[in-house]
Structure 1
């Protein structure tokens, strides 16, 4: 009736200009207009709509628990990175985003990919961090851990990143003992919409674009995202050391300070260049039916040159016979010279991943009894392909048979692939929570069936994985059969080769439970336990307890304790199992105390103290063929955060400090001692500070942001690269036999000491964004606008060089027991360029 009357009034007002007499207006009535008599209308009785579940669950989260808790209780120790943060970030990939926004987080180059450091922990592979995309674990369990999502340059499909700093193994499974990264992708939320974006990053020659289309209605929503990224790579100054120089140790910038006969006289790797010029691709689709069933599919690829401090390699393409002579017996002697096809980044990797998932949630809450339930179920399929080349190519002479010459001339031959395998996981998970007036109870189970096999499209004989890449298909594997020729052997000279056929299958079960009780308003207790069983491992128990005291609306105290475990990689577990043994998991214990103070809607302060102890386990060959715990590391630290936020201004500041307590060793080989100390203590700065400034203006359509961060007090690294390294130079000077050798050592010492290594590393980045119209947004940033030490990024040092004692060093009385032998070798870094990036987004 109201609509009809509105139409009538509108028509009558419109007719006023045409009415000539009063009768014209009075004759315009409802009955005459609609052509029939009006009927009496009685509206239905008003019943207010009330959804008890939405009201109860609002402001609750389950980041660290299976049950839904107050958002404040679950947010301490967690960093939330929004889509707006990502859009404004002066970042190339997710690793840069983590370093910008997460307190105490950093990344550095490593021998097998880039690695994350957080809360005083950094290892040569990201095995102690777990990455989830929309609830699916995308880690590579066979060897590298977290790698694929961290390397991709396009992040426009990400809606939010939640970073849990520290252990969360009881909630996210064995292995989540240093941090958890939860990625949530964007979903369709605005009817029918299409977005097209493009980007360019100078210095690295990166350019690409993406496309997104969404459709929504009352019953379903669908979204599709696709992106393409091409990166040519940056030519950077790279500083490295070479303990195997022709006349002694060599140090300097690759291609600049090394003599012409050195392998490092060639240019350095092209940093962050695509693997074999293959662009990065990302495809994702989501279907949401009745806001209950969610189906998702995703494909990502990434790859680049590794480490950054290796020299480019020359690929031999053939031989030219310059002359033929005869020996004393009359047999021909061929004098030949080699032909090379050019310089390449031999040491590089590529990873590709496909995943699909189907999930459903059921929930109910009775408002009268305050009882209810939440049931979540998810099934997923995840497969990834990984291959990585070694850091050098092979050369050959005329005595190598022609078929093998062709192989040695082809960098894509399986011979050069240090790792080449695929990993496929089928997973099913169900979690049920029962809600009570005074708390919640949760139970659940998770099953994974994992298949480790040959790479996508590869022959069965090309499988290669394991520590050092020593697990191959069989004794006929093409990565193994060339060892009869000098210079073509792999690690087979040092360890026995494990044969794996076409791969293997493993099963893993997780059973978990949780109790969350809040007997009074000012106290909440949570206890979580999780049991993990694996076909090739001993069981792993993970426990977490938490006491939260929201003593006031503005103050919150929380104490957490955890016992977590990490299973070894699938390759390590299978190798040990092949000797009829079950590997022991690596144990972690931690204690945290947190305080959060919310002054008002603008000011927020928090401080966290933690103390951790982590076992260090490794695969011992060839005597034991088992996982052995060689020691444990103790460390503690503090994290302080403050933020101020208004409608236009956002300021965040944080400070972290790590107190490294040292390593307790067990009675094993001395070289393991040195390796562990160098690996886990020397790659982390003791202190770090970060500052974010963001200002909105022009009616909230324009942003400007500045990010500053500083790292300093590398306690262990600066001692090694300073005092210990110079002791080694003293020993080499003392052992110099000629004036030329003495002058060479002195020259390298000066180059080394001029680097001012491991002091203050500080950077300033700027970014800005402008929404020109409802359809066009443009943003830009400058990375490394200001920096100390030329934006130096160090390379992870694992201390392995202690086992590379040359005969010349041994003749000088240097032994592996000499602690400073490897000290100077850890100084490796690249100088990142100052670059400009621009992004454009069009919305239709």
Structure 2
């Protein structure tokens, strides 16, 4: 076993190394007052090492600035992204919101990366993008920059679907110096308060933010599921005739522990920037009934939510920028972060909910040190380059403040500290304990190290063309070398028309729990790969209107861990279109975007088509035997992607009145044609209809007939809901800024979500295993109203 990394907190004294500003942009400019053409020409860093105008970016980037954040009624960051980012889709799962981009979505957010000020804080062990996105308080965010599509060339493994870069506010001479905010969401029984402060003099700037938010969650939610055993037509969890208790609250704080966010940023001159950030969250999302806690005699005490998670994150970063000459500069960074993840399942109800006896499958901390060094050189008027080196060290161990024996990570086997001392193996009579026959003891934990080399170069060609080459090489001690190159040609035909043509490859390794086991078994040769051709055309010929059309063709070799080794799951060819139009004039801003995705081909790995492996990507190429007394064989059906609509349309409208003091905002999302999801139902139907019952005994023929009848009843009831056709959602907000006096103003915001009571939050389906498609379930989203008040001094 490799020596475990020291806890990263002891290394904070090294933070003077600074951070690489080439990976994070930071400006306090007020985008809201700029024209559309000016906005397109703002230099951004997200997605590249060299600043470029947004219209010239090789990556499809969406920027959500602080004005738009302030206008939105989104209850958390994930919902904000859903409202603004073209083609971004949210679904739910037991551990939280799942983010999809360009047809890629999974039960874990491991195909995306999450950055804070350009620093990667993704959880590489489990769940990927998990911290931050469920935070309800967004007042500390200057803007969010989202890459739609691959970003591995800049940020490394994991960025095959997209990148989310949260840019926090910094010290500024602008008002307010001090602000206090309060918020209330009645529907989710949530209250919050936040405080922020900033001040800057000639050499020192300080920005601070802290928030505290509680949520009892949505009471009595409508979780729609399949329930063949329910004699009535009711298919909502906890509401049928055989229900034992009501449904678990939705978005309730785990154990009543509040959401907390604290951020401190300190700038020294123009060269040194540091920040420290802490977040705490964890909310209920599982589709299940509440359960009774029990006293010592085993008698019920009270109904409580039976499943939840807890996450905590502490990140520290600094950056140092050194101009060497007029044509060259050097920058360095050091980032230290630690994330704790614990999942609870109240299956041993004689103990407290937060007892270690009710921890299930996951309890760990991920500690990470990342150092980056970059050198920027302007070689001539037509050629410049950036070259860099990055080192990352990750230690995986027990949760914060716990001994090694509290480590537990599940991936087919149970990764624990030691079979003789693990707290989870002390009482084998308890429910939900590790399988003693499938243990992977790792002592004090696991260590992972990655060295990376980065390069980007721009070369100006005649006639306002530009050639951009970039690559990233990642050398991990548990995975095959990853090479992510990108070549782009930027063609500015005139001031109104820009075409960007891009060829690139993105690669990722599996989450570290699976990558470790695969490497230990001598198989680290498979990395997921995405090869892409993308064209982007931007036009500003029409006054006050910007049009952008992106077309992409992706070839994806999807890789997964099948219990013992990394396996190729499927080969996919995807074609997509993204159309974005924005109108901005006087006091009105209107944006409309539409995305279309066509899976040209999905081919499951023939070696997995034994009838025992489920492909959770598409039912277009499928071969699986269900469980039950009479298994049925599910074979290929349809052409769509599982968990993905063919079309997504979004609208954003803002109108300002009274010299911009009163603002009205509307946003809407429409998801059309979840054909790939409903293909599962059709596949089951065909399997039943084509089954040769003559091969069954009379007893099994009766069982088969009952299974088919129950399945067809579930299908009939679901069809009455028209659940997988069109889903649409309309949200609205009104803000009013009241100038109390020369130094104080008050901002009031009233928000409404799901005004037509028309939207659903679908559950991610990883493929069903029973005699009916049990994964086709969703939450009926409620109408929700919230009120917030912000006082600026």
The TM-score by the shorter chain falls in which range? 0.7 to 0.9
Structure with higher helix content? 1
- Equivalents in 2 of 1:590, 1:700: separation in Å? 43
Query: Deviations along 1:91-142, whole A, 9 cap, x unmatched?
Result: 0101110110000112111133210011111111111111110121111011
- Equivalents in 2 of 1:673, 1:581: separation in Å? 21
- Write out aligned runs for 1:171-190 (5 A): 171-190=154-173
C-alpha contact 1:536 1:583 (8 A) present in aligned 2: no
After superposition, the Cα gap between the structure-2 partners of 1:577 and 1:755, relative to the gap in structure 1 and judged at 3 Å, is: same
After superposition, the Cα gap between the structure-2 partners of 1:482 and 1:575, relative to the gap in structure 1 and judged at 3 Å, is: same
C-alpha contact 1:251 1:752 (8 A) present in aligned 2: no
2:392 aligned with 1:456: no
2:488 counterpart residue number: 546
2:189 counterpart residue number: 205
2:295 counterpart residue number: 317
C-alpha contact 2:450 2:476 (8 A) present in aligned 1: yes
Q: Which deviates more, 345-354 or 741-750?
A: 741-750
Aligned partner of 1:653 among 573, 581, 592: 592
After superposition, the Cα gap between the structure-2 partners of 1:453 and 1:686, relative to the gap in structure 1 and judged at 3 Å, is: same
2:768 aligned with 1:829: no
SS state of the match for residue 57, structure 2? helix
2:419 counterpart residue number: 475
SS state of the match for residue 225, structure 2? strand
C-alpha contact 2:245 2:290 (8 A) present in aligned 1: yes
2:81 aligned with 1:98: yes
C-alpha contact 1:703 1:770 (8 A) present in aligned 2: yes
2:84 aligned with 1:116: no
- Write out aligned runs for 1:669-680 (5 A): 669-677=610-618
- Equivalents in 1 of 2:251, 2:355: separation in Å? 19
C-alpha contact 2:59 2:148 (8 A) present in aligned 1: no
Aligned partner of 1:579 among 508, 513, 521: 521
CA-CA distance at 1:746 after TM superposition:
7.1
1:328 counterpart residue number: none
C-alpha contact 1:665 1:673 (8 A) present in aligned 2: no
2:724 aligned with 1:758: yes
- Equivalents in 1 of 2:647, 2:255: separation in Å? 38
Query: Deviations along 1:682-704, whole A, 9 cap, x unmatched?
Result: 10111011111100110111100
SS state of the match for residue 96, structure 2? coil
2:651 aligned with 1:691: yes
C-alpha contact 1:250 1:748 (8 A) present in aligned 2: no
Aligned residue pair count = 721
SS state of the match for residue 174, structure 1? coil
Query: Deviations along 1:732-757, whole A, 9 cap, x unmatched?
Result: 99955799999977765543332222
1:535 counterpart residue number: 477
1:423 counterpart residue number: 366
- Equivalents in 2 of 1:740, 1:450: separation in Å? 52
Q: Which deviates more, 630-639 or 693-702?
A: 630-639
2:665 counterpart residue number: 705
- Write out aligned runs for 1:717-756 (5 A): 717-721=677-681, 724-725=684-685, 748=714, 750-756=716-722
- Equivalents in 2 of 1:769, 1:833: separation in Å? 22
After superposition, the Cα gap between the structure-2 partners of 1:318 and 1:593, relative to the gap in structure 1 and judged at 3 Å, is: same
Query: Deviations along 1:74-98, whole A, 9 cap, x unmatched?
Result: 2861111000111111201011101
- Write out aligned runs for 1:35-74 (5 A): 59-74=42-57
SS state of the match for residue 754, structure 2? strand
2:118 counterpart residue number: 135
- Equivalents in 1 of 2:235, 2:41: separation in Å? 58
SS state of the match for residue 785, structure 1? coil
Query: Deviations along 1:746-775, whole A, 9 cap, x unmatched?
Result: 765543332222011111111111101151
After superposition, the Cα gap between the structure-2 partners of 1:616 and 1:265, relative to the gap in structure 1 and judged at 3 Å, is: farther
Aligned partner of 1:779 among 740, 746, 749: 749
SS state of the match for residue 651, structure 1? strand
SS state of the match for residue 825, structure 1? coil
Aligned partner of 1:361 among 296, 321, 325: 321
- Equivalents in 2 of 1:632, 1:730: separation in Å? 28
CA-CA distance at 1:566 after TM superposition:
0.5
- Write out aligned runs for 1:404-415 (5 A): 411-415=354-358
C-alpha contact 2:363 2:408 (8 A) present in aligned 1: yes
SS state of the match for residue 150, structure 1? coil
- Equivalents in 2 of 1:421, 1:249: separation in Å? 43
SS state of the match for residue 128, structure 2? coil
2:408 aligned with 1:440: no
SS state of the match for residue 771, structure 1? strand
CA-CA distance at 1:364 after TM superposition:
6.2
C-alpha contact 2:277 2:314 (8 A) present in aligned 1: yes
- Equivalents in 2 of 1:656, 1:464: separation in Å? 41
1:393 counterpart residue number: 347
2:431 counterpart residue number: 488
Question: Which consecutive residues of structure 2, in runs of 5 or more, have no partner in the other structure?
Answer: 1-28, 30-39, 623-639, 694-698
2:675 aligned with 1:715: yes
1:37 counterpart residue number: none
SS state of the match for residue 718, structure 2? helix
C-alpha contact 2:569 2:615 (8 A) present in aligned 1: no
CA-CA distance at 1:600 after TM superposition:
5.0
Query: Deviations along 1:442-477, whole A, 9 cap, x unmatched?
Result: 110010111101101223211011325721111135
CA-CA distance at 1:677 after TM superposition:
2.5
2:199 counterpart residue number: 215
C-alpha contact 1:365 1:373 (8 A) present in aligned 2: yes
Aligned partner of 1:561 among 503, 517, 520: 503
Q: Which deviates more, 627-636 or 579-588?
A: 579-588
After superposition, the Cα gap between the structure-2 partners of 1:285 and 1:745, relative to the gap in structure 1 and judged at 3 Å, is: closer
- Equivalents in 1 of 2:644, 2:332: separation in Å? 39
2:629 counterpart residue number: none
C-alpha contact 1:111 1:796 (8 A) present in aligned 2: no
C-alpha contact 1:414 1:478 (8 A) present in aligned 2: no
SS state of the match for residue 153, structure 1? coil
2:306 aligned with 1:346: yes
- Equivalents in 2 of 1:544, 1:249: separation in Å? 57
Q: Which deviates more, 696-705 or 770-779?
A: 770-779
C-alpha contact 1:576 1:583 (8 A) present in aligned 2: no
SS state of the match for residue 170, structure 2? coil
CA-CA distance at 1:556 after TM superposition:
0.6
SS state of the match for residue 65, structure 1? coil
- TM-score, normalization: structure 1? 0.81
CA-CA distance at 1:58 after TM superposition:
8.7
2:637 counterpart residue number: none
- Equivalents in 2 of 1:303, 1:724: separation in Å? 36
C-alpha contact 1:240 1:251 (8 A) present in aligned 2: no
CA-CA distance at 1:242 after TM superposition:
4.9
C-alpha contact 2:594 2:649 (8 A) present in aligned 1: yes
Query: Deviations along 1:415-456, whole A, 9 cap, x unmatched?
Result: 533210001111110111111210211110010111101101
CA-CA distance at 1:413 after TM superposition:
2.3
Aligned partner of 1:165 among 148, 151, 154: 148
- Equivalents in 2 of 1:720, 1:197: separation in Å? 47
C-alpha contact 1:662 1:681 (8 A) present in aligned 2: no
After superposition, the Cα gap between the structure-2 partners of 1:316 and 1:744, relative to the gap in structure 1 and judged at 3 Å, is: farther
- Equivalents in 2 of 1:681, 1:745: separation in Å? 22
